[in-house]
Structure 1
């Protein structure tokens, strides 16, 4: 297994360098003409694995180009001064993870065995795993691409298989509850349902753990020895796994607490460009720590996990606009930055005097907007906002000839008319 994983990684780096030389191309057909023969002869890869390498490298460059375009737009809008450097050099692949295509590179055998491709031919092995997933495979459910993952700490390989589960199409009448979820750093989330019941999850303990990782990494970087570098690599993987495990737990907590619900999630696209500022070496340690906390905020991962887990729990996640959710009073509709004194956790409406927790106010506003999405869904039969599409795509069914900005402005005007009354929100 070491031979095939190392050969695959070397092939990725070779194809990445060739793509960089070909004007940083993201075209898989163009890359295929340039490297296919070399991948077969020089690295000994099979035909399907060679094609998978080309597609993976092309997709990586496409992602880099997309990020570059987003950065250019953010710089033009003065959201950031930082230049994106992802295409200054050829992307380098370090992981020994490789991708297998079902029916070509791996296949299921009788008796709980799987056949996988190696440089020396096929290898038939017994497998074990999560029982619910094994039952799905035994029933013959559709399986997609798989990843052969190498865990360095245990010197062990794992075959991670994508299992496709058929679920019924969601219907608005099948989701009786609506939950608004406000994500943040001081509170990982604050969720409020249509009956006014709220769930708070503080982030102080996780932030302390992240600060511990940061202090340890800083000390190891100063030390600079080979053993310190190895320790840094181990810490990086440990911190990533810690955050992913925490987000899995938070997503499951929400789904089990609010079953059969429509979860409203804020559209936080490009938020990093809006909140991060140009690096200044003269700023205080407190400001640097705040910027680090912002850069480590894993809201997108939490929202993604909640969105893909929701159908398994009979729920659904939709995306709503995040504008003014923590500045708008849901009692009278007044919107102002002054409603949040010193941008703190206290909300005090300048117009009607309503007080509350700022994050809970945001979650209530998100719940109101989610209720509006549900009402439109029931009246039109089309769900307009989903968490896995962009804002322009989400609003296209109702946009006609109007631009995405005009459609969003119209939605914001509708939001301004919403008022919160748990007794009549059902």
Structure 2
């Protein structure tokens, strides 16, 4: 499902709304036959494309279009075109399709474009193509979804049957707000498996600040483990009643995790918007291939929905006009944000404690990583928004008579005394607890932050004395 790029650029960002179709028993049978026919045509085109080694849409169209019309006489011309486009998209997005033909389920979702589905907004009905003629169907939805369908430019639609209910998911172009300059820095967010999200302000999410029944990361892990044991027990039993229970429980865990990710992303974007900051996340693309996990931890790693939360944060920041930066996640939990010292010994292999081997900075490892993410976002945002900050020759700069600007080097020490250094007041004072109460961290005095994540028995983050042989006052 998607909108043309031209529509998205003119109107805003693509979003999806869900409508419930009002169908009779006869209409449901016709829609089921339509979905099955379109999926059969897509499966036929997928097999032909894989055997003939065709990957381009034009080549595949010239090769299999007439075959589709002959093999499936009731298939319309535009339906055949959309089936070919589905095959091209599936082979482009899935690496497994290169080894075998992509499989289209008989009851899978079927896309409809403007030639196959039209809407009458005044009457509140849609006209949808079927092999037996067009159907005029009514629809229901939330007020916000109905308003979006009536006012925003529509795009491609997906027809889905879920538990006997026919749904129509419509892609619309939502207007985006003007991105505000993050004058107060960035709110860094560290994503993880044990803790889904930890902000540079010290908030552990999900937690008590979020509504709903999930009150912590331990609750999320217990929920996933319970669902896994339940599915394994029912699949081992393999009776008709067990299969009925599996169908009833299908998707429940995914819906719960999606709700938690929605709450986390909403809290992060709202906090950044209220404080005049941007949002900084780690670019975790390909993390499953790079991370080495024990056999007992593979299920946990591959059920980690980090990409979903990044997607939720991305579209929420676009609508709210908040800046979003994805930074390199390398060594964020092993880097001392005070002295920029990177060492594996700073963060042990197990446990959530961080202890700098040079300056003795101590704290929660995820909190330290979130602070490093917010610091890196400052440089990332500046690189994107300083087109003239370069010494390289530029014909456009010469034409505009703009002299080259020297690149601004943002250091850790300079950031420590500015609002851009921490992204928040809480982040800038997150490492100021003292072990002896007298030794200062730097020339600038700070006070302990109440938002600092406790990692010791007395629930305070302390600046431990540096290890023996390490300088106590010198920089890294």
Native 8 Å contact 1:115 1:122 kept in 2: yes
The structure richer in helix per residue is 1
Q: TM-score, normalised by structure 1?
A: 0.77
Residue 22 of structure 1 corresponds to 52
Native 8 Å contact 1:150 1:158 kept in 2: yes
Residues 13-412 of structure 1 correspond to what in structure 2 (within 5 A)?
13-23=43-53, 25-43=54-72, 44-64=74-94, 67=95, 87-94=98-105, 95-139=107-151, 141-152=152-163, 155-172=164-181, 176-192=184-200, 197-201=201-205, 202-229=216-243, 231-259=245-273, 261-276=277-292, 287-380=294-387
Deviation (angstroms), 1:349: 0.2
1:421 partnered with 2:421? no
Q: 1:416 to 1:40 in 2, by over 3 A?
A: farther
The alignment yields a C-alpha RMSD, in angstroms, of: 2.7
Residue segments in structure 1 that go unaligned for 5+ positions in a row: 68-84, 278-286, 383-397, 399-410
Deviation (angstroms), 1:86: 5.1
Query: How many aligned residue pairs are there?
Result: 360
Native 8 Å contact 2:269 2:279 kept in 1: no
Deviation (angstroms), 1:104: 4.1
Which protein shows a greater Rg?
A: 2
Deviation (angstroms), 1:378: 4.6
2:410, 2:289 → 1: CA distance?
25
Residue segments in structure 2 that go unaligned for 5+ positions in a row: 1-30, 206-215, 395-406, 424-476
Native 8 Å contact 1:106 1:117 kept in 2: no
Q: Give the SS at the match of 1:334.
A: coil
1:111, 1:53 → 2: CA distance?
30
Deviation (angstroms), 1:338: 0.3
Name whichever of 367-376 and 223-232 sits farther off: 223-232
2:362, 2:415 → 1: CA distance?
14
Q: Give the SS at the match of 2:203.
A: strand
1:62, 1:177 → 2: CA distance?
38
2:43, 2:277 → 1: CA distance?
45
C-alpha distance after superposition, 1:306-359 (max 9, x if no partner): 111211222232211111111000011110010012342100000000001100
Residue 40 of structure 2 corresponds to 10
2:284, 2:128 → 1: CA distance?
40
Deviation (angstroms), 1:416: 7.5
Deviation (angstroms), 1:364: 0.4
Q: Give the SS at the match of 2:236.
A: helix
2:59, 2:246 → 1: CA distance?
38
Higher normalized contact order (CA 8 Å, seq sep 6+, divided by chain length):
2
1:249, 1:128 → 2: CA distance?
25
Q: TM-score, normalised by structure 2?
A: 0.69
1:358, 1:227 → 2: CA distance?
46
C-alpha distance after superposition, 1:398-420 (max 9, x if no partner): 9xxxxxxxxxxxx9xx7875665
